[in-house]
Structure 1
Amino acid sequence: MDALDKVVKPKTKKAKRFLEKREPKLTENIKNAMLIKGGNANATVAQVLRDVYALKKPYGVLYKKKNITRPFEDQTSLEFFSKKSDCSLFMFGSHNKKKPNNLVIGRMYDYHVLDMIELGIEKFVSLKDIKTSKCPEGKKPMLIFAGDDFDVTEDYRRLKSFLIDFFSGPTVLNVRLDGLEYVLQFTALNGKVYFRSYNLLLKKSWCRTPRTELEEMGPSLDLVMRRIHLASDDLYKLSVKVPKALKPKKRKNISQDTFGTTFGRIHMQKQDLSKLQMRKMKGLKKRPAENGVDDQGKKMKDN
């Protein structure tokens, strides 16, 4: 049995709060990510992990020591770290002669690996290499996906879903214009994925809406897809299942379209218009000219 599975009943208040924090919830917490270096990670891979951690803060854990593990062969160490740090996302970096500058990104479900995608780094520009202002910690980014592959190919659709989970950040109800500070763009083209990040600059304009400009911030990555380990359809459906308490209650004869507009259907009995009570109004009375009588009550002559 795992050491973390032996805790049955908390003996202190701190342990009780710790267990309550990890209990299943209707609305899940913000997904944390762990970034792990492999036993043979080089300087490029280590810098990529540090830059991604800078974008992910404070919802991430960066392991500084090297860990000798192979995610596609043995996943027990990743599941142990996931349970220890309470992270449902991970990024593992390694380097060898056969697969240089390698990144493995994946998701967890119930502290078990759900799916993984292996990416190779072909070109990398670090945060520190681009001398511009950086986005403050904890800001929610805007995500842009360009390329037909994200909507056509199943592997790229799953990659898009993972990238949204990894970088989406906290859920917000209201958006303030000044809070839109940086953009992450992912472009799928010719079998590669181009990852770029930009600062959003709001400039003065001749109207109330400011003029926007993009300034490259870093990091910049050119990625190529390698191995893929996807969960079965049944397990994937189970992982995205919405709790019954969160499902909207069905209301009879009321529906909504994709834009949230509410439509209602009303059922009425057949009306008998012969019994309809018409209200008398002065505006409905005929004028004297329409009756062929002038204002003094005399009959008008036909010309």
Structure 2
Amino acid sequence: MLRTVKPRNARSKRVLEKREPKVIENPKKTLFLRGTSASELVQTALNDIHSLKKPLTIKFTKKNAIHPFEDSTPLEFFSQKNDTSLVLFASHSKKRPHNLTFLRTFSHRTLDIFEFSLDPDTFLPLSAFKNQKPIIGMKPMLLFCGAPWDSNARLQALKSLFMDFFKGPTVDRVDVEGLQYIIQFSTPEIPPQTEVAGEAGPAPKIHIRAYLLRSLRSGQKLPRIELEEMGPRMDLTLRRVREPEDEMWKEAMKKAKKVEPRTKKNVTMDVMGDKLGRIHTGKQDLNKLQSRKMKGLKRGKDDGEMVVGEEDELVEKVKKTRRE
């Protein structure tokens, strides 16, 4: 259990209030740290991912004797202390070389953990690509290639992790000039017998590529877009997974009532973004319609119909004769 901290002064009270749950949460920060032993390969990968996620990052430089799957309490402590929701941990050992561990927290408690092996043969850092890099703080576009991202339960959870990890701050509008790079996640097809979660089979391999968007002249109004690889180039193989508990996952997926917009009846939006409304009116009785009173519009007795008000006069005459 994490201890509850009581504010000692007004400054610490304001800091704690910023960390409290909100209807619209703050952008998720990521904590980067390494274990007691980490190869140069995973340290380079750690630094490259840290460069892509700036400025929503916190990086530790000292070694940490942490084993996330055996005991994730130290990472929960660092998450609460630094107000970070995501953790990337780099380590290296003889049993698990070139190891990268992604961890998500909910209310600073461990939600799920994914451990990957970084392929040293295909890895290329940012420095290997001699081109411009995106401006710090730009939101990337995320592209998931492959049917298993939607059909395999394990990869669906992994897709949710990558979207949380790389999406950046939530914004209402995006300027076209701000779309500077794209991150692609691809995976090969998984045999049908291994698509069921928990069934033995080969570990899925994830290919991560990052591309710059180049706008070139096309002779028309719209420019021609080309992709230029900017790095890092990483191939990750899934090793171990700790799935979230059902109760915690259900609690984490809850949405505040104020966030969900109220549905308006009979109001829709078309493809062009125009608001359309439907009005329901009751059945209209034309006999009771009030029109301009003119003698020329009245119907006489010869027309086969009574003049307006004549029917009431006739009923009164019949009642009067009965009384007499």
Q: TM-score, normalised by structure 2?
A: 0.78
- Cα 1:97–1:260 change in 2 (3 A) is farther
Kindly report which structure 2 residues correspond to 1:66-105, keeping only aligned pairs within 5 A, or say none: 66-105=63-102
SS in 2 for 1:125: coil
* Paired amino acid for 1:87: T
CA deviation map 1:4-63 (0-9, x unaligned): x4631332x432321222122110000000111111211111111100000010101111
Deviation at residue 277 of structure 1 after TM alignment: 8.9
* Paired amino acid for 2:11: K
Indicate conservation of the 8 Å contact 2:99/2:118, yes or no: yes
| Residue 201 (structure 1) aligned to one of 214, 225, 230 | 214
Aligned mates of 1:267, 1:159 — CA distance in 2: 47
* Paired amino acid for 2:84: C
Q: Which moved more, 1:252-261 or 1:110-119?
A: 252-261
1:7 lines up with 2:5 in the alignment:
yes
Aligned mates of 1:7, 1:274 — CA distance in 2: 76
Aligned-residue identity in percent: 43
Aligned-residue CA RMSD (Å): 2.4
The equivalent of 2:150 in structure 1 is: 151
Which structure has the larger Rg over C-alpha atoms? 2
Deviation at residue 255 of structure 1 after TM alignment: 6.0
The equivalent of 2:282 in structure 1 is: 269
Aligned residue pairs, count = 276
SS in 1 for 2:118: strand
Unaligned runs of 5+ in 2: 190-203, 293-324
Aligned mates of 1:87, 1:133 — CA distance in 2: 29
- Cα 1:269–1:196 change in 2 (3 A) is same
The equivalent of 2:247 in structure 1 is: 234
Q: Which moved more, 1:71-80 or 1:240-249?
A: 240-249
Aligned mates of 2:159, 2:116 — CA distance in 1: 13
* Paired amino acid for 2:6: V
Aligned mates of 1:198, 1:227 — CA distance in 2: 29
Indicate conservation of the 8 Å contact 2:7/2:16, yes or no: no
- Cα 1:10–1:260 change in 2 (3 A) is farther
- Cα 1:261–1:66 change in 2 (3 A) is farther
Deviation at residue 259 of structure 1 after TM alignment: 9.5
CA deviation map 1:94-135 (0-9, x unaligned): 111222111110210011000111111113110111111111
Aligned mates of 1:97, 1:260 — CA distance in 2: 57
Q: TM-score, normalised by structure 1?
A: 0.84
Unaligned runs of 5+ in 1: 280-303
The equivalent of 2:260 in structure 1 is: 247
* Paired amino acid for 1:204: R
The equivalent of 1:140 in structure 2 is: 139
SS in 1 for 2:6: coil
Indicate conservation of the 8 Å contact 2:104/2:161, yes or no: yes
Aligned mates of 1:221, 1:212 — CA distance in 2: 24
Q: Which moved more, 1:69-78 or 1:251-260?
A: 251-260
Q: Considering fraction of residues, name the structure with more strand.
A: 1
- Cα 1:224–1:266 change in 2 (3 A) is same
CA deviation map 1:62-98 (0-9, x unaligned): 1111111110110110001101111000111111122
* Paired amino acid for 1:141: P
